[in-house]
Structure 1
Amino acid sequence: MFDTVLVANRGEIARRVIRTLRRLGIRSVAVYSDADASAPHVREADVAVRIGPAAAAHSYLDIDAVVAAAVETGAQAVHPGYGFLSENVAFARACAAAGIVFIGPGERALEVMGDKIRAKDHVGGHGVPTVPGFSAAGMTDADIAASAEATGYPLLVKPSAGGGGKGMQVVRSAAELPDALTTARRVAAAAFGDDTLLLERLIERPRHIEVQVLADAHGGVIHLGERECTLQRRHQKVVEEAPSPVVDAATRERLGAAACAAAASVDYRGAGTVEFLVAADRPDEFFFIEMNTRLQVEHPVTELVTGIDLVEQQLRIAAAEPLSIAQSDVRLAGHAIEARVYAESPERGFLPATGEVLVWRAAEGVRTDGAVETGSTVTADYDPMIAKVIAHAPDRTAALQRLDAALADTVVLGVDTNIGFLRTLLADDGVRGGDMDTGLIERLPPYTAPEPPAAALAAAARVVTDRDAATAAARPSHASGLWSARSGWRAGGPAAPVTAAFESGDGRIVVAAAAEPGPIVSVGARRGSARTVGRALSDGVVAATADDGILWVHADGVTTALRPLSRRAAAELRRAARERGAAASDPELRAPMPGAVVAVHVADGATVAAGERIATIEAMKMEHPVTAPHAGTVRVDVAVGDQVRRDQVLAHVKEDD
């Protein structure tokens, strides 16, 4: 076994790998960018090495810098995690050239399975069923259109060299094909450096089932059952579970055999995942999608139902040990479900969110793989996933209940998250009954955040009134102390309720009476500072105030962001809302999030229609179009390549007279 292993990744996966290394007594080496200098994985490793600035292209994707860090620290092996360089054959070659073991498959598996077109053709020749389709490599748009017509619509256009749903476009008619090709190529070139496309028949209402495999260098190949990854949004997985509620024992055996055949066909080594599409109305019929030659984000659900540490198996296989587990040893016990917690705003169309994590508190009784802690900063430089919450129980119903309760108890203050949306999703009848397909989330009504619980409003009002009272008391005054006490005292009558006004996230003004004073304890402090950033009230409510004055409160399983208002500010907001209601739509188009302008779709001075795309912003590996709010003449204020702030004006659309 290795003495020292470098983890070429960040966030929750780096921390998860480091945990197993520590358990096995192996020295761990972390790498970090300038944005991650104080990240949890850096402090938890035995050694940490800086590899570059925040941009991933100049740090976590810099092969020379990562290999140099491994050589410098005496690492005998490199664990790539997932994403970044985990499926990069050039990185595997560079490790080998430096005498370092790449904890992953060999070059042949990386090359064959790293190209969706080649992988599909390859496994099809080894008896694995595949979806009808064709490669667009070397074809003109006219050739593609002709082949698309022959294959039949609807089609799925996707980059050949990538994964994670990036660049995928659904095309239902020939008229939609040109725009889909342009978008898919642009995303593929930016994300993977290769704009080759693959077009496949779109299977309506599919389920996404994947099979975990392990293979050693001695010819041993086994599978660890399947995972259901059907709940996706924009081809990104949101909730995963093991086993699948629709796969019976016979189908599981067939799926496992197909996955093992795919792995054996490329002399696979290590942990890998073979992904299949399963028709919702015919769960016994499945088609190969791709093979991920790495650990998957959702691997914890397999670990919980099998009791097998997949990272340990990766390490042992990379150290040339034969598998110590036979297929007959694999038993699936109970049910496990994982929810991905993203820093994003579901009520704003799932736009990625950034900011400082004022308070982080993981739920008890479940497994949480977190990338953040109190004091962490979530930036736009990397993927917005900040944690995974995984529940395990004897059956699926109990696992769903346990996961929902855990999400309710997970506290993230300071950054918007999708936790509220995840709880709404888990409560859906289709999810509860296991009647799912990959389009389920897209068919849900637009998400609206729940009303702030009464306990949250009362606690927020208490925090604000206590703060104001303390400020007033500290100010020199010749008036009676009654004026600064803010107690609601009245002469000759009962005390008036002490209230505070707030603006909620959706722009509403809320007035709340303060809760009765009670004991408050610190729940978190900013790193490197003694300033308390969070307060836990006696009734279980947690509150924290950000530097911008926003008060974040968690109560009754709901997190609410509130902006305290003076009486004058509340009155001005009410008046502005009335004026907006009587006016036309806003002519200013603002950036929905911080990011880079990757496309400007119209010329300055052009006439546009309502809903026409004006520009596209890219951040956190996702593209977000900005469209005209009404018809008119456009004035463009940005250019391709510009970095923009959230709410920065990108263009103006002047309505025609």
Structure 2
Amino acid sequence: MGMADQMDDAQMFDTAQMFDTVLVANRGEIAIRVARTLRDLGIRSVAVRADDDPSPHPAHFDEVVTLGSGPLRDTYLSIERILDAARASGAQAIHPGYGFLSENAAFARACEEAGIVFIGPPASAIETMGDKISARHAVESRGVATVPGIAEPGLDDAALIAGAERVGFPVLIKPAAGGGGKGMHRVDDPADLPHALATARREAAASFGDDTLFIERFVTHPRHIEVQVLADRHGGVIHLGERECSLQRRHQKVIEEAPSPLLSEAQRAAIGQAAVETARSVGYVGAGTVEFIVAGDRPDEPFFMEMNTRLQVEHPVTEMVTGVDLVEQQLRIAAGERLAIAQGDIVLDGHAIEARLYAEDPAAGFLPTGGEVVDLQWPWDETGGLRIDAGVEVGTTVGSSYDPMIAKVIAHAPTREQAIERLRDALREMHLFGVVTNRGFLRALLREPSVWAGELDTGFIDREGERIAASLGDHADPELAVVGRLPAEVLAVAGALQGGAVPQQGPWAGDGWRMSGAVGRVARFADGDGVATVRVRRIDEPQEHRFVELRDVDIEIRRADGTVERFSRLPLERPTFETPDGMWVSTQHGDWLVEAPPRTRRGRGPAEPSLASPMPGTVVAVHVADGDTVAEGAAVISVEAMKMEHVLRAPVAGTVHLHAVSGAQVARGQELATVTPGSPGDAEEAA
């Protein structure tokens, strides 16, 4: 039983000291999630919104205050505008969500000076834990072990390089001021360290405004295990168990679960106590997460990594196994209440697992995508074991200005195996038109034997991700399969749904519309990553199926010549069913099975001299000057979108001609540079 059910009602819901009005200084799914608890507690909620932000979160609030338009520093990252919004709305407190200003000590201090309660820890705790170097020293003073490394303020590259030799390779470069994987780089070869340090400093400065770095020994076969803590203003500190977050790509979490399948009860208690001591080391107040790195073969020796002084993206899995609403606890603590929960009250009920749905294309190297959500259906749940925290709805445009995570799907069940199955079913049953996502990849990842067995480490997706992504065609999504029954004149919609693919052949091909269905209809779509084929064939016997409800959708086709054509409320009227092999469509001409065989990747052809942006984003670095001669593979331009940086490299040796400058906003497919083939030696002779 969840512990909320075990507590005295008067203790749980006494709101005598609770706030009347709370402003949420965030957007998207976390703003919507916080608003839900505010509504449950009868607290008036206030949202903030940038004028050009397509997020649907304002509709979930009692009042909305606009922040104007412009870059993030002038909207969601502007302390002055957030405080002005709080004053204008009469908010007594501000909940920062996560990201943005949630771990900004200056913001916490500014709230205090303005007489507004910051729903989070004291500024001093944010400052200490926000600097990973000072955090190491603080927890070591409480007997908490840290990863061996070199961590002192003001280390330049020369000192870090010398320190790395003493620590021993492989090493992990980490920004002192940041988290979330941004600016982190594993280095195995000493020769690669100078370049990695330069990249890490640039990323750290861009993300956190501070390029201070430190280095730790890279733990072999590491597992990422974090512990949720709660601390009140009266000295009470407890933990709510741990979360396993080892399934991550490039240090960004993908799948999280609670509890960890690695730990025994004794190990769980020990790591929980280490987290409590960590919180005490800085006088922590509120909800926080202490992150540990654990060697898979030594789970009894956790090393402190960092403390996130805010609510975590993956907090729902803890809520589902404990029955504790963490946002409610944040509010009560910020209002000055004592914790009404003792450590002995925490009972872990079953298992919960969360998948992050990202706007990215696994088949294209996980590059960020985008587009308008033209149709959306979340899975139906009658058991209470499924939760969707979403930041999009029909009509939402997913762009490159914000994080690529658009929703979280969380499943809870009595056992880990049942929770995984419930999550896989939920991912299968949902559909989302208009934006390419990692949904198919998530389902395939959850089928992996190692994942099923709980044999995880933080490098698993980096090692196996390409192989898993290549297998996705075996498990086609309905978005692609349903194209087979659309009218011929809207065939181009498949391009939008598949990330810019262009049709190669109409759906009613010469082999196609036969009453006998001997061959069937075929539609083929191609993009830069390969070819996807949709085949429609007649079936004589009804198959085992599941009904799929598809609403009418608006479709906009942008043709290569620049013309635009809209098909308003395109009717999708025919009964449609999903089978293990694809989509079964019942029509006046009989029953048809719409199949989507695997995408076939194109063979690597001769290198093109043009470098096009693989995603919409911003040019963050130009590594060469116009007219420079470069070797094949040399870095030319770096593009950043949705907190991900992609380096474009010279496809051939030759002379570079630049068509973009640092800071430029670029579209997917836009030419940023060309390379005139020829060796550097040839160029020198010509001169």
Q: Hey, what does 1:29 align to over in structure 2?
A: 46
The residue aligned with 1:391 is 411
The yes-or-no answer on 1:588 pairing with 2:616 is: no
For 1:306-317, list aligned pairs within 5 A: 306-317=322-333
Equivalent positions of 1:358-377 (< 5 A) are: 358-365=374-381, 366-377=386-397
Measure, in 2, the Cα distance between the counterparts of 1:494 and 1:630: 52
1:532 aligns with 2:532: no
TM value normalised by structure 2: 0.83
Match of 2:668 in 1: 646
- Matches of 1:339 and 1:557 in 2, distance apart? 28
Q: Is the 8 A contact 1:29 1:46 kept in 2?
A: yes
Calculate the aligned-residue CA RMSD, in Å: 3.1
SS in 2 for 1:35: coil
User: What per-residue deviation string (whole Å, max 9, x for no partner) do you get for residues 212-234 of structure 1?
Assistant: 00011111110000000011100
Letter in 1 for 2:260: S
Residue 487 of structure 2 is aligned to residue 464 of structure 1? yes
What amino acid sits opposite 1:625 in the alignment?
V
Query: How do 1:92-491 residues align onto structure 2 when only pairs under 5 Å count?
Result: 92-135=108-151, 137-365=153-381, 366-444=386-464, 446=466, 447-448=469-470, 449-450=472-473, 453=476, 459-465=482-488
* Distance across 2 between alignment mates of 1:488 and 1:126: 73
Asked if the contact 1:521/1:535 (under 8 Å) is kept, the reply is no
- Residue 523 (structure 2) pairs with residue 523 (structure 1): no
What letter matches 1:259 in structure 2? A
Gaps of 5+ in 1: 469-483, 543-554, 563-576
Question: Which moved further from structure 2: 184-193 or 604-613?
Answer: 604-613
1:157–1:200 CA contact under 8 A, matched in 2 = yes
Deviations 1:593-624 (A, max 9, x none): 11111112223333323222111101111110
After superposition, residues 4-19 of structure 1 pair within 5 angstroms as 4-19=21-36
Q: Secondary structure at the match of 1:122?
A: helix
Instruction: Please give the alpha-carbon distance, in whole angstroms, between the structure 1 residues aligned to 2:625 and 2:152.
Output: 30
Range moving further from structure 2, 442-451 or 643-652: 442-451
**Aligned residue number for residue 632 of structure 2:** 610
Q: Secondary structure, in 3 states, of the residue corresponding to 2:669?
A: coil
Amino acid at match of 1:186: R
Q: For 1:85 and 1:589, locate their aligned partners in 2 and report how far apart those are by CA, in whole Å.
A: 36
Residue number in structure 2 paired with 1:636: 658
User: 447-456 or 131-140, which moves further after superposition?
Assistant: 447-456
Alpha-carbon separation, structure 2, partners of 1:141 and 1:608: 25
User: Is the counterpart of residue 74 in structure 1 residue 102 in structure 2?
Assistant: no
Aligned residue identity for 1:463: L
Say yes or no: does 1:623 pair with 2:645: yes
Partner SS for 2:52 = helix
Matched residue type, 1:307: G
Distance of aligned partners of 1:535 and 1:56 in 2 relative to their CA distance in 1, 3 Å threshold: farther
Structure 1 residue 181, shift from structure 2 partner: 1.2
C-alpha distance in structure 2 between counterparts of 1:410 and 1:63, whole Å: 38
- Cα distance in 2, alignment partners of residues 514 and 55 from structure 1: 51
* 1:633/1:654 contact within 8 Å kept: yes
Tell me by how many angstroms 1:512 deviates.
Answer: 3.5
Report the AA paired with residue 30 of structure 2. Answer: I
Match of 1:567 in 2: none
- CA offsets 1:41-64 (integer angstroms, 9 cap, x no match): 111100011113253222110110
- Partner of 2:299, secondary structure, is strand
Cα distance in 1 for partners of 2:606, 2:473 equals: 29
C-alpha separation in 1, matches of 2:255 and 2:438: 12
Amino acid across the alignment from 2:160: I
Inter-partner Cα distance in structure 2 for 1:436 and 1:335: 17
SS state at 2:76 partner:
coil
Query: Are residues 186 and 533 of structure 1, via their aligned partners in 2, closer, same or farther at CA, if it must alter by over 3 Å?
Result: farther
Size of the alignment, in residue pairs? Answer: 609
Provide the C-alpha distance between the structure 1 equivalents of 2:317 and 2:291, rounded to a whole number of angstroms.
16
- SS of residue matched to 1:368: strand
Query: Are the counterparts in 2 of residues 459 and 541 from structure 1 also a CA contact under 8 Å?
Result: no
Partner-residue secondary structure (3-state), 1:633: strand
Q: Relative to structure 1, is the Cα distance of residues 456 and 4 closer, same or farther in structure 2, using a 3 angstrom cutoff?
A: closer
Q: Deviations over 1:222-253 (max 9, x none)?
A: 00000000111000010000000011111111
CA contact (8 A) 2:294 2:302 kept: yes
Q: Does the C-alpha gap of structure 1 residues 445 and 333 become closer, same or farther in structure 2, counting only changes over 3 Å?
A: closer
Structure 1 residues 179, 582: closer, same or farther in 2, change over 3 A? closer
The DSSP-based 3-state class of the residue aligned with 1:653 is strand
Is the contact made by 1:524 and 1:532 (CA closer than 8 Å) also made in structure 2?
Answer: yes
Task: Report if aligned partners of 1:168, 1:184 keep a CA contact under 8 Å in 2.
Answer: yes
Offset of residue 425 of structure 1: 1.0
**Aligned equivalents of 1:558 and 1:170: distance in 2?**
42
The whole-number CA distance in structure 2 between the counterparts of 1:193 and 1:454 is: 41
1:399 alignment partner AA? A
Q: Distance in 2 between matches of 1:193 and 1:252?
A: 36
Q: 1:466 to 1:594 in 2, by over 3 A?
A: closer
Cα gap change, 1:441 to 1:452, in 2 (>3 Å): closer
Inter-CA distance 436–453: structure 2 relative to 1 (3 Å threshold):
closer
Q: Name the amino acid aligned to 1:419.
A: R
1:5–1:77 contact (8 Å) kept in structure 2: yes
| Contact in 2 for aligned 1:60/1:66 (Cα 8 Å) | yes
What is the letter of the counterpart of residue 287 of structure 2? A
Q: Is the 8 A contact 1:461 1:515 kept in 2?
A: no
* Kept after mapping to 2: 8 A contact 1:169/1:184: yes
Structure 1 residue 652, shift from structure 2 partner: 1.3
Amino acid at match of 1:352: P
Distance verdict in 2 for CA 1:642–1:284, change over 3 Å? same
State the AA in 2 paired with 1:400: I
Using the alignment, how far apart are the partners of 1:370 and 1:164 within structure 2?
Answer: 20
Counterpart Cα distance in 1 of 2:434 and 2:595:
14
Residue 460 of structure 1 and its aligned partner are, at CA, apart by 2.2
Q: Which moved more, 1:280-289 or 1:165-174?
A: 165-174
- What displacement does 1:167 show? 0.5
| 1:489–1:496 Cα contact (<8 Å) kept | no
610-619 or 271-280, which moves further after superposition? 610-619
The answer for unaligned runs of 5 or more in structure 2 is 1-17, 492-507, 556-565, 580-591, 680-687
Is residue 501–residue 511 contact of structure 1 (8 Å, CA) maintained in 2? yes
Q: Distance in 1 between matches of 2:552 and 2:317?
A: 30
> 1:374–1:284: structure 2 CA closer, same or farther, 3 Å change rule?
same
Q: Deviations over 1:80-99 (max 9, x none)?
A: 00000001111111111211
Q: In the superposition, relative to structure 1, how do residues 653 and 325 fare at CA in structure 2: closer, same or farther (>3 Å)?
A: same
Q: Deviations over 1:625-645 (max 9, x none)?
A: 111222233222222222211
